[in-house]
């Protein structure tokens, strides 16, 4: 049996240790010994490195073969799915929950055979969610996808229902970066940015998605800012935005309670799209006895005070409050900065950290942790737990035996640079080193 030693690293709560791994599990954690004491072991130099549990990311898209998003969009090429998983892996993530929602058991198994990251499945295939997906898109749904209901998925090993709602069916980021720009381009030949699209959306339907929020002056301003003045009229724009969002919206909204009831009956958590447009329904679900994970509770549609008060209410009701990195520090195609994220950390409202997708531009979890800890809004031990142990506890089936560095735990481990947490050097999954020197082995 091969023994591997992460030699001379620091843990969050301890300095100068060796983590001894054997048989895929952590055998012991001891003060650093001379390298010669491990002559028969595979010695991995962790000196000057911080050793943390492999990250457990509870909200990802495009990480399994099959339809993309809870709108049943055409699936990504397999090569892109594997590239997405590589990206997560090199960011220190060893387990992902794919919340695309219509992936089948067989497709998940093929994904697992092709990549070392532990890919777990959530399902959104309830009647209302399937109907909303079919209306909004459904371009990637086959008969097999439609038949693989949430009930069947849980029996086959799905660890949660989710993502229930999603920006693609509830007028969120998915509509802003995918469907509205596509229709504008089809009509005008002009390519607009997600932020320009979002401005059009908010001008027509408001943050909470209501036809009564229509603001003609705001639409004119958004059209001018997007370079669409003279190419689309106010009424044209109203029609585009409304036709993209409204047909599926009410059905998708009703799907939140439907999925929560199915999750409660199945004994699994439900992960929902938590945003300004769905916050009332999410709060209603939190009052039931289902285990609720309120996804990306720092969603850009929230006003800051609204988000904080809503998250506080959810926590009082026993829900798990998740925040996502989105593209907060990098591309910022959808977000404007970390202010809301920081405020939620500082208020002690965050339970888990995920990435979401952000149109393929998500920021690494360790980058967000690094920035937040430097800003002084959260401590490093608390933030690491939000990306590891807290997720394992919130979703019991996602990563059994993982998420903590203790003897007997599965050896999913990461060595990273304490001066720059997103500079990951080593990743181990199940006791096997799969990344060395920041590169796939």
Q: What whole-number distance in Å separates Cα of residue 10 and Cα of residue 25?
A: 19
pTM above 0.95, yes or no: yes
State how beta strands 420-429 and 432-436 pair.
antiparallel
Closest CA to 228 of 264, 183, 167, 261: 183
Query: What is the pLDDT confidence band of residue 437, given thresholds at 50, 70 and 90?
Result: very high
Confidence check: pLDDT of 430 > 80: yes
Given a contact cutoff of 8 angstroms between Cβ atoms, the answer to whether 118 and 108 are in contact is no
> Computed from CA positions of residues 144, 146, 149, 150, in that sequence, does the dihedral angle turn out positive or negative?
positive
Query: What is the pLDDT confidence band of residue 143, given thresholds at 50, 70 and 90?
Result: very high
Percent of the chain past pLDDT 70, that is, above it, reads 100
pLDDT at 372: 98
Q: What whole-number distance in Å separates Cα of residue 397 and Cα of residue 385?
A: 17
Query: What is the pLDDT confidence band of residue 1, given thresholds at 50, 70 and 90?
Result: confident
Q: What whole-number distance in Å separates Cα of residue 333 and Cα of residue 338?
A: 13
Dump pLDDT digits (tens) for 206-250: 999 999 999 999 999 999 999 999 999 999 999 999 999 999 999
């Amino acid at each position: 049996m091969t023994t591997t030693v992460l030699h001379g690293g620091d843990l969050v709560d301890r300095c100068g240790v060796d983590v001894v791994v054997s048989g895929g599990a952590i055998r012991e954690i001891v003060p650093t010994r001379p390298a010669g004491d491990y002559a028969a072991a595979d010695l991995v130099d962790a000196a000057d490195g911080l050793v943390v549990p492999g990250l457990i990311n509870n909200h990802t898209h495009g990480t399994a073969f099959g339809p993309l998003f809870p709108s049943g969009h055409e699936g990504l090429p397999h090569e892109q799915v594997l590239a997405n998983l590589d990206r997560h892996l090199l960011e220190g993530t060893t387990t992902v929950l794919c919340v695309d929602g219509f992936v089948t058991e067989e497709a998940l198994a093929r994904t697992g055979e092709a990549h070392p990251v532990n890919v777990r499945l959530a399902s959104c295939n309830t009647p209302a969610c399937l109907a909303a997906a079919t209306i909004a898109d459904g371009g990637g749904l086959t008969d097999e996808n439609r038949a693989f209901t949430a009930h069947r998925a849980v029996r086959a090993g799905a660890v949660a229902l989710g993502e229930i709602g999603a920006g693609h069916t509830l007028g969120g980021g998915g509509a802003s970066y995918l469907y509205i720009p596509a229709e504008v381009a089809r009509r005008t030949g002009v390519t607009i940015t997600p932020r320009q699209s979002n401005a059009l959306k908010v001008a027509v339907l408001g943050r909470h998605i209501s036809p009564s929020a229509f603001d003609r002056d705001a639409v004119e301003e958004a059209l001018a800012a997007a370079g669409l003045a003279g190419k689309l009229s106010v009424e044209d724009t109203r029609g585009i935005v409304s036709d993209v969002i409204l047909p599926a919206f009410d059905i998708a909204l009703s799907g939140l309670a439907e999925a929560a009831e199915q999750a409660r009956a199945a004994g699994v958590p439900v992960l929902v799209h938590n945003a300004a447009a769905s916050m009332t329904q999410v709060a209603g679900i939190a009052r039931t006895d289902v285990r609720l994970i309120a996804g990306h509770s720092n969603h850009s549609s929230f006003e800051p005070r609204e988000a904080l008060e809503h998250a506080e209410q959810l926590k009082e009701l026993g829900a798990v409050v998740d925040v996502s990195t989105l593209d907060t520090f990098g591309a910022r195609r959808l977000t404007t900065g970390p202010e809301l994220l920081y405020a939620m950390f500082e208020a002690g409202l965050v339970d888990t950290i995920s990435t979401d997708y952000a149109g393929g531009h998500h920021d690494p979890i360790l980058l967000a942790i690094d920035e937040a800890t430097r800003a002084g809004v959260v401590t490093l031990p608390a933030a690491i737990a939000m990306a590891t142990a807290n997720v394992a506890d919130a979703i019991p089936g996602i990563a059994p035996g993982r998420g903590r560095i203790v003897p007997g735990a599965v050896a999913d481990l990461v060595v990273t640079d304490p001066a720059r947490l997103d500079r990951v050097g080593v990743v181990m999954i199940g006791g096997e080193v799969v990344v060395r020197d920041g590169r796939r082995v």
